[in-house]
Amino acid sequence: MKKSNKRVSILTHTVLIIVLISSLYPFILMVMNSLKSSQEINVNPMGFPMEWRLDNYLTVWQEGGYAKAFLNSLGIMFVTITVVIVVCGCCAYAIAKLKPKGADGVFNYFMFTMSVSVSLCLVPLFFVWMRLNLMNTHTGLTLIYIGTNIPFTVIIMRSFFIGIPDEILESARMDGCNELSVLALIAFPIAKPIFLTASLMTALSVWNEFFYANSFVQTDSLRTVATRYIAFTGQYSSEWGKVSTAGVITVLPMVILYLVFQRQFIEGLTGGSVKG
């Protein structure tokens, strides 16, 4: 029996290692190519750099206008996360614990909106945003990101709030807390893991989003990181060293963010009960 379990464990770990290598290899290859010249990539596209070109990063950062693009993306991301977390936290708590009339209908509406492709909303949004003078503004783009991130965030937060025992909330009410105090002092602190998880997922969706950012923002000084990368690849499509460098600059912040908060991220996804 022990030998059988050991074989299963070895097989499982082997499969996981293969999956890990296959997942990391494209990113590692992109990092290696970002340290090469375009001529070296043509000769040695899969190997380690023979001459380390660290100056690629400074060149791409300046030519791609990434300093302004980073500030734009960070500003939009911060506002989107703040609004989404507050709005979805209150909405998910109400659906899970207060259960007002129509709560199930609201939840089913959010489930339905997740099945609608974002491309279907482009044309009506374009005309509405034109009339509201929200085209080519960060405000208009931020409102779109808030709306597109709310449904999924409400769904995952609701699942977490359902796992909070009602007895804890009832005891707070018996101590004289009103519903707002229960939400702010009891429910929200317990829900910190899912808040962090939702924040990370929202940050990733905003940082990587290209479809709306490219359609609703045309001024170079207002463009986000994702659109700067696409423009960079078009301008320097034959210079693969710079293209790889731009790719690393684009994805590295999110990679670092997930590596730092990976434990809290998993805890939020698998949470739903109160420990301690």
3-state secondary structure the chain: CHHHHHHHHHHHHHHHHHHHHHHHHHHHHHHHHHCCCHHHHHHCCCCCCCCCCCHHHHHHHHHCCHHHHHHHHHHHHHHHHHHHHHHHHHHHHHHHHHCCCCHHHHHHHHHHHCCCCHHHHHHHHHHHHHHCCCCCCHHHHHHHHHHHHHHHHHHHHHHHHHCCCHHHHHHHHHCCCCHHHHHHHHHHHHCHHHHHHHHHHHHHHHHHCCHHHHHHCCCHHHCCHHHHHHHHHHHCCCCHHHHHHHHHHHHHHHHHHHHHCHHHHHHHHHCCCCCC
In 10 A of CB 39, how many CB atoms? 11
| Region 229-257 average pLDDT | 80
User: Of 226 and 38, which is predicted with more confidence?
Assistant: 226
Residue 4 pLDDT? 66
Quick one: how far is CA 98 from the chain centroid? 29
* Residue 6 reports pLDDT greater than 90: no
* Residue 7 reports pLDDT greater than 80: no
The dihedral built from the CA positions of residue 88, 93, 95 and 101, taken in this order, carries a sign that is negative
What share of the chain has pLDDT > 90, as a percent? 33
The dihedral built from the CA positions of residue 204, 206, 212 and 217, taken in this order, carries a sign that is negative
Residue 207 pLDDT? 94
Residue 262 pLDDT? 79
Per CATH, the homologous superfamily of domain 56-270 is: MetI-like (1.10.3720.10)
Residue 16 pLDDT? 86
Residue 146 pLDDT? 95
User: Of 136 and 273, which is predicted with more confidence?
Assistant: 136
* Residue 206 reports pLDDT greater than 70: yes
**What does pLDDT average to over the chain?**
86
* Residue 145 reports pLDDT greater than 90: yes
Residue 275 pLDDT? 43
| Region 130-148 average pLDDT | 94
| Region 76-96 average pLDDT | 95
| Residue 79: pLDDT band with limits 50, 70, 90 | very high
Asked whether 223 and 69 are in contact (CB, 8 A), the reply is yes
Residue 92 pLDDT? 93
User: Residue for token digits 């997740």?
Assistant: 114
| Residue 237: pLDDT band with limits 50, 70, 90 | low
| Region 32-41 average pLDDT | 86
